[in-house]
Structure 1
């Protein structure tokens, strides 16, 4: 039984094989890209949640400082100011770490996208080579279709 995707012309069939191999490689890259996207989306959400929680802790500490300032008491104010300052240092530390990791994630995703786009070009070029080969008259045929 013959393969309906083959022409029986060795040169064209070789180009078809190349095109199919390039497409398989592209398909694999796309599957990996989708899986990595799922993971990086979850990680990004986790990082942003950590940052938001740190920001809420800092805001709460600022609120406690305001309350302490309204109620008086130097010891309470000093303690509240220290809590606010620690919360801000923590917020900055977490925000810096989140920014660094998000930059790494973005850089890796851009590299991955570049590789996928390059493979897409290879697959398309291989498909174009098949079309071009099929559009050329066969070598055993005289120009004009043998008439």
Structure 2
């Protein structure tokens, strides 16, 4: 009986280590930074498969907005951004997909546990966490605001 208990405890601790290294059930952040010129605001709205939508936020120039969440299987969060002052230019993109490939290829890894997006004059950039560099991802588009 004692050997069975020791084996159980050993397997339990191994499983805890494996769970911690898995993507699911980990805390993660998405950050959006407004780097638009001329003090233009950035209108931000997030949506996910489990939540309908966050409230629309107007982000002043040179500020950041953070959404914190726990990663579950099939987590998907997408963002709608509109460029001020008249909010006619728009970008919609997947800000987070709960897959290791997305985190490593788009966000640049899990250290830190953040996908950092930056709105600039010509479009949306993502930071590669490992390299600390920004990569152009999405161009601003002109869309009708009545479809949100």
Greater strand fraction, Structure 1 or Structure 2: 2
- Which is greater in Rg? 1
Greater helix fraction, Structure 1 or Structure 2: 1
* TM > 0.5: no
Bigger relative contact order, structure 1 or 2 (CA pairs below 8 A, ≥6 apart): 1
TM-score category (smaller protein): under 0.3
